[in-house]
Amino acid sequence: MVRPDKAAAVAEMSDQFTRSVGAVLTEYRGLSVQQLQELRRVLGDDATYTIVKNTLTKVAARDAGVGGLEDLLVGPSAIAFITGDPVLAAKGLRDFARLNQPLVIKGGVLGGRPVGAAEISRMADLESREVLLARLAGALQASLQNAAYMFNAPLAQAARVLGALRSRLEDQDGVNDPAAPEAAAPEAAAPEAAAPEATAPEATAPEAGTGAASELPAQPPTGTIPRRPESPPHTIDR
């Protein structure tokens, strides 16, 4: 019969497996209490570092549906339950193990899949989630700027082409109609040419007077009796 304290420990560990995105199994033999505290500080909110018992851990993993840890549960064991960024947790464990040789990374599970120590080390070489998101945001912003430039470029180019075409048409109109201003000059001088027509009656006045005098009969002087024309003598035919 399982003791209540062990049953509680198994239930709590099984819940940790369920709530975690991954778990890294380590051997902590030779680490002091201060070093363990420093390791927990390094991991921060990304992982919870817990010293476990191998037998209870096997039961908890089985209850949580996690496999691949049975062969690693040998010797003094501690598990880093990853609740944050797996890359940052892997970096923290790797960097701490480099400075503190007693810490040995055995392997673990990530996303329900067993992973080895070498894979965890390679994962530590990756960029963190924050860095990747920042790079992705920068790439998206650059793509949006490029897209905006590509959309605006045809409009600006079309405007330049239309402006050049308009200037060319204006230049052609100026070349094709050079006599337009000169044609207006004779029209402006037309009133001067019409001036002689206005003086025409003065020039024809004598002619009009001569014609009128020849048509009217000569009037006798005032106070004289007009003479009757002499009639030819009458002859009597015998």
- Structural domain boundaries of the chain? 8-126, 128-176
Q: Are strands 22-27 and 104-110 parallel, antiparallel or unpaired?
A: antiparallel
* pTM tops 0.75: no
* CA dihedral (107, 111, 114, 116) positive or negative: negative
Tokens 């960097």 label which residue? 95
Angle between helices 4-19 and 54-64 (to 10 degrees): 50
Nearest to 20 by CA among 71, 70, 86, 77: 86
What's the pLDDT at 229? Answer: 54
User: Under CATH, which architecture does the 8-126 domain have?
Assistant: 2-Layer Sandwich (3.30)
Task: State residue 24's pLDDT score.
Answer: 96
Q: pLDDT tens per residue, the chain (238 residues)?
A: 568 888 999 999 999 999 999 999 999 999 999 999 999 999 999 999 999 999 999 999 999 999 889 899 999 999 999 999 999 999 999 999 999 999 999 999 998 899 999 999 999 988 765 555 665 666 666 666 666 655 565 666 667 767 776 777 777 766 555 554 454 444 544 444 444 444 444 444 444 444 444 444 455 555 455 555 555 555 444 4
Say if CB 43 and CB 89 are below 8 A apart: yes
